[in-house]
């Protein structure tokens, strides 16, 4: 299987795999034999893999491969003994005692139906009925992904200190030197697909949104200086998108394909926010400058605002008038505060005011970046688009990523159409654009260096382009393929 085949083309359709939830599981009291592949495996994926995977082997026990289930962890007790539920330590740990269980640690216990299914499967012999076609090769640090072609790159992020450039791969994040000269490390996790990357404001952690289509979504939080997975939280039954950090680094927001916006505590992985007023996938999120609001964009053609402490939906930032937006929104970013507060921006609407307020750039299917005020300042009137400040010249095709530079006076955007791509840099105030040269294929993602002197972009052909944002000149390019040897950190 090649990297090109297995990597995600941005926002591809969900695979036709049935989602599994408790309501769909067979009753443990029926005569039907419990299937490991159909019944037990989804339960373990949803509740257990966050702490029991090669990158984070809690209790020295790994559950990502069937063979590992039969081994012992640090307890020294066999986790699964075929035919003997009472001797299986795994069952002991998940059993409810006064409504609580030892495992999953720090998370709600399994439902009794799920526990009964695991017990029944063990009693029936703990057979592995995984189809031959679905037996995946184990991927971990000892068995890293192998590529016969460059992966489609769906996410990029510079570290705040300017030393590293994180690049999405298959089952991993590739951490390169910022100039692309060498590979520093490979952060290999459970998720097949990596959809979004973001360094914490202090640069000490890296948040990753992804998952396995039709099976689970996952948020990973790494301490990249030690290549250590700190948090792995599985959420929903499909991949996750649009990861973002709160300004204080305590909360991580993201979008889900179950039409919800969510956020977790970055230290524990516990969910702290869920908002469900979107009617399609949420593919981008960004926090307000004070961290009290989370803005989200969706394929449902809306940008919505959620109050973080109360989890309350506040308002549609975009117009709700049919035809105001032509297609779904796919990209969002919040303008850095220091520049936004002193900006006096030429506007298309009479309602903009040169005062302190959060500003958002958003774009999507119609290719047109638009600048919005985050917070409504006038009463809503049917048909208005009062939060819109300015529109910019449309890019060819869909815009899948927009990012402000650190000063907030420029933003970059990436687009794709009919096998081609374009990367542009816009001046926020004047709207003047610079087109980046020698972009060789569909472009899906952009990222700014902390100094604002380099804009990185990438897309379908797996090549990373580093451009001078002032001129559009290509400074350097390299292919996102792991080298045979990982270089020492500098």
What does pLDDT average to in each consecutive run of 10 residues of the chain (490 residues)? 39 35 48 82 77 72 73 79 84 81 80 87 84 70 87 97 96 95 93 96 97 92 90 92 97 97 96 96 96 96 96 91 78 80 47 61 96 90 87 97 96 97 97 97 97 97 97 97 62
Q: Which residues contact 47 (CB under 8 A, 6 or more apart)?
A: 104, 107, 110, 114, 234
Q: Which residues contact 380 (CB under 8 A, 6 or more apart)?
A: 315, 386
Q: Which of 284, 178, 289, 170 is nearest to 224 (CA)?
A: 178
**What pLDDT, on the 0 to 100 scale, is given for residue 346?**
47
**What pLDDT, on the 0 to 100 scale, is given for residue 430?**
96
Q: Which CATH architecture has domain 156-479?
A: 7 Propeller (2.130)
**What pLDDT, on the 0 to 100 scale, is given for residue 20?**
38
How far is residue 425 from each of residues 297, 403, 414, measured CA to CA in Å? 21, 9, 9
Does an H or E element contain 403, and which? strand 398-404
Token pair recorded at residue 13: 């359709």
**What pLDDT, on the 0 to 100 scale, is given for residue 60?**
72
Token pair recorded at residue 26: 């067979």
How far is residue 303 from each of residues 310, 331, 352, 375, measured CA to CA in Å? 19, 10, 18, 12
As a whole number of angstroms, the distance between CA 375 and CA 419 comes to 37
- According to DSSP, the residues that pair with 275 across neighbouring strands are 261
| Model pTM above 0.85 | no
Rounded-to-10 torsion of CA 278, 280, 284, 287:
10
As a whole number of angstroms, the distance between CA 230 and CA 234 comes to 14
**In sequence order, which ranges of 103-234 are alpha helices (DSSP H)?**
112-123
Domain ranges of the chain: 17-130, 156-479
As a whole number of angstroms, the distance between CA 255 and CA 263 comes to 9
As a whole number of angstroms, the distance between CA 411 and CA 308 comes to 26
Does an H or E element contain 228, and which? strand 228-235
As a whole number of angstroms, the distance between CA 145 and CA 138 comes to 9
For the chain, state the CA radius of gyration: 23
Calculate ∠ Cα 161-164-169, nearest 5°.
Answer: 145
Contact of 308 with 273, CB cutoff 8 Å: yes
As a whole number of angstroms, the distance between CA 121 and CA 98 comes to 24
As a whole number of angstroms, the distance between CA 64 and CA 67 comes to 9
């Amino acid at each position: 299987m090649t990297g090109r085949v297995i990597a995600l083309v941005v926002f591809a359709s969900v695979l036709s795999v049935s989602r599994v939830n408790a309501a769909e599981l067979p009753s443990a009291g029926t005569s039907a034999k419990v299937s490991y592949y159909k019944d037990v495996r989804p339960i373990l994926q949803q509740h257990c893999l966050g702490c029991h995977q090669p990158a984070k082997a809690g209790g020295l026990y790994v559950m990502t491969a069937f063979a590992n289930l039969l081994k012992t962890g640090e307890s020294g007790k066999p986790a699964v003994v075929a035919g003997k539920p009472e001797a299986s330590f795994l069952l002991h740990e998940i059993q409810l005692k006064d409504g609580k269980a030892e495992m999953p640690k720090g998370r709600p216990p399994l439902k009794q139906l799920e526990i009964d299914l695991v017990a029944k499967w063990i009693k029936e012999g703990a057979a592995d009925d995984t189809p031959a076609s679905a037996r995946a090769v184990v991927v971990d640090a000892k068995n890293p992904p192998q590529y016969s072609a460059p992966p489609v790159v769906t996410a990029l992020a510079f570290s705040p200190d300017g030393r590293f450039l994180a690049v999405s791969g298959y089952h991993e994040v590739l951490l390169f030197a910022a100039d692309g000269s060498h590979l520093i490390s490979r952060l290999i996790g459970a998720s097949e697909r990596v959809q979004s990357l973001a360094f914490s404001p202090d640069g000490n952690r890296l948040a990753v949104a992804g998952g396995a289509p039709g099976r689970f979504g996952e948020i990973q939080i790494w301490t990249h200086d030690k290549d250590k997975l700190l948090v792995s939280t599985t959420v929903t039954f499909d991949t996750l998108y649009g990861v973002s950090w709160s300004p204080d680094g305590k909360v991580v927001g993201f979008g889900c394909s179950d039409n919800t916006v969510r956020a977790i505590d970055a230290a524990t992985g516990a969910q702290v926010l869920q908002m469900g007023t979107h009617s399609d996938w949420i593919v981008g999120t960004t926090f307000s400058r004070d961290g009290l609001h989370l803005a989200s964009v969706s394929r449902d053609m809306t940008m919505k605002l959620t109050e973080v402490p109360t989890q309350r939906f506040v308002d549609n930032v975009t117009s709700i008038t049919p035809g105001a937006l032509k297609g779904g929104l796919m990209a969002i970013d919040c303008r850095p505060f220091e520049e936004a507060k002193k900006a006096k921006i030429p506007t298309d609407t009479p309602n903009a005011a040169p005062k302190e307020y959060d500003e958002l750039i958003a774009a999507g299917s119609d290719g047109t970046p638009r600048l919005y005020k985050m917070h409504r300042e006038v009463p809503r009137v049917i048909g208005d688009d009062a939060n819109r400040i300015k529109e910019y010249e449309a890019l060819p095709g869909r815009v899948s990523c927009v990012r402000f530079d650190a000063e907030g006076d420029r933003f970059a955007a990436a687009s794709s159409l009919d096998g081609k791509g374009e990367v542009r840099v816009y001046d926020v105030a004047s709207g003047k654009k610079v087109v980046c040269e020698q972009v060789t294929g569909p472009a899906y993602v952009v990222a700014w260096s902390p100094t604002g002197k380099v804009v990185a972009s990438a897309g379908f052909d797996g090549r990373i382009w580093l451009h001078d944002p002032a001129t559009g000149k290509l400074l350097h390019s390299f292919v996102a393929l792991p080298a045979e040897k990982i270089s020492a950190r500098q």
